[in-house]
A and B are shown apart, each in its own frame.
Chain A
Amino acid sequence: MLYFAKWKIGLILAICLAGLFFSVPNALRGQADGLPSWWQPVTLGLDLQGGSYLLLEVETDAVVREQLEALVESARAELREARIRYVGLGVEAGAAVVTIPDAGQRTEAARLLRGLDSGGTDLTEGAEGRFSLTFQEQALIERRTQAVEQSIEIVRRRVDETGTREPTIQRQGDSRIIVELPGVDDPQRIKALIGRTAKLNFHLLDERVSPEDLAAGQMPPGTTVLPAAENNTDGPPRYAVRKRVEVSGDRLVDAQPNFQDNQPVVSFRFDTAGGQRFGRVTQGAVGQNLAIVLDGAVISAPVIREPILGGSGIISGSFSVQETQDLALLLRAGALPAPLTVLEERTVGPGLGADSIEAGALASLLGLLLVIVFMLATYGLFGAMAVVALVLNLFLLLGALSLLGATLTLPGIAGIVLTMGMAVDANVLIFERMREEARNGRTLMNCIETGFRQAFKAIVDANVTTLVAAALLFYFGSGPVKGFAVTLSIGVLASMFTAVMVTRLMVVVWLRRSRAKALPI
Chain B
Amino acid sequence: MPALINLIPVDTKIDFMKRRVPALILSVVLVLGAITSLAVQHLNFGIDFSGGILVEARMPEEPDMADLRARLNTLGLGAVSLTHIGDDARDVMIRVQQPDDTTEEQENAALEAIQGVLDAGVDYRRVELVGPKVGGELIEAGIWAVSLSILAIVLYIWFRFEWQFAIGAMVALIHDVVVTLGVFSVLRLEFDLTTVAALLTLAGYSINDTVVVYDRVREKLRKYKRMPLVDLLNLALNRTLSRTILTSITTLVAVVALLAFGGEVLRNFSAALAFGIIIGTYSTIYVAVPILVYFDLRREAIAGEDSEKEEATGGAASGSDTPAAPMIEGADGFVPSPEPEADDGDDSAPSGGTGARSATTRAGNAGKRKPKGRGSRGARR
- A-B interaction: yes
Indicate whether A472 sits within 8 Å of B124 (C-beta atoms), given known contacts A351-B58, A355-B263, A370-B257.
Answer: no
Q: Which residues of A contact B263 (CB under 8 A)?
A: 355-356, 359-360, 410
- Chain B interface size band reads 35 or more
Q: A472-B145, A473-B145 are in contact. Are A418 and B254 (CB under 8 A)?
A: yes
Chain B nearest CB from A410 CB (Å) reads 6
How far does the alpha carbon of A197 sit from the alpha carbon of B357 in the complex, in Å?
78
Interface bits A254-288 vs B (CB < 8 Å: 1, else 0): 00000000000000000000000000000000000
A446 to B323, CA, bound (A): 11
Q: How far is the CB of B190 from chain A (nearest CB, A)?
A: 15
- B233-254 vs A, Cβ < 8 Å mask (1 yes, 0 no): 0000001101100110111111
- From B2, B127, B325, A441 is in contact (CB under 8 Å) with B325
Cβ–Cβ contact A439 & B341, under 8 A: yes
Residue among B104, B123, B269, B324 making CB contact with A343, cutoff 8 Å: B104
Could you tell me if B3 and A469 are in contact, using CB atoms closer than 8 angstroms?
Answer: no
Question: B315: CB under 8 A from chain A?
Answer: no
Please, which residues of chain A bring their CB within 8 A of the CB of B253? 367, 370-371, 374, 421
Cβ-defined contact, B351 with A2, below 8 A: yes
B81 at the interface (CB under 8 A from A): no
In whole angstroms, how far apart are the Cα atoms of A154 and B111 in the complex?
25
Nearest CB in chain B: distance from A167 CB, A: 18
A351 to chain B, nearest CB (A): 5
Say whether A472 contacts B152, CB under 8 Å.
yes
B105 at the interface (CB under 8 A from A): yes
Q: Is A145 an interface residue (CB 8 A)?
A: no
Closest chain B residue, CB of each to CB of A2: B351
Expressed in whole angstroms, the minimum distance between the Cβ of B305 and any Cβ of chain A is 15
The A-contacting residues of B in range 178-197, CB under 8 angstroms, are 193-194, 196-197
Per the bound structure, the CA–CA distance linking A481 and B56 in Å amounts to: 20
CB-CB nearest in chain B for A449: B351
Residues of A in contact, count (CB < 8 Å): 95
Q: Choose among B124, B130, B144, B247 the residue that contacts A422 (Cβ–Cβ < 8 A).
A: B247
State which of B128, B142, B215, B374 has its C-beta within 8 Å of the C-beta of A347: B128
Collect the chain A residues with CB atoms within 8 Å of residue B255's CB: 367, 417-418, 421
Q: How far is the CA of A446 from the CA of B200 in the complex (A)?
A: 38
Chain B residues 123-153 with CB under 8 Å of chain A are 123-131, 133-134, 138, 141-142, 144-145, 148-149, 152-153
Instruction: Report A305-335 residues with CB < 8 Å from chain B CB.
Output: none
Cα A176 to Cα B325 in complex, Å, equals: 67
Give 16 CB contacts A-B under 8 Å: A186-B124, A366-B257, A377-B5, A378-B6, A378-B246, A380-B1, A380-B3, A381-B1, A422-B208, A436-B341, A439-B11, A442-B324, A450-B348, A473-B149, A484-B194, A521-B3
Q: Quick one: which of B2, B262, B343 contacts A414, CB cutoff 8 A?
A: B262
Contact check: which of B134, B148, B266 meets A344 at CB < 8 Å? B134
Residues of A within 8 A of B265 (CB): 47, 352, 356, 410
CB distance A476 to B145 under 8 Å?
A: yes
- Shortest Cβ gap from A291 to chain B (Å): 26
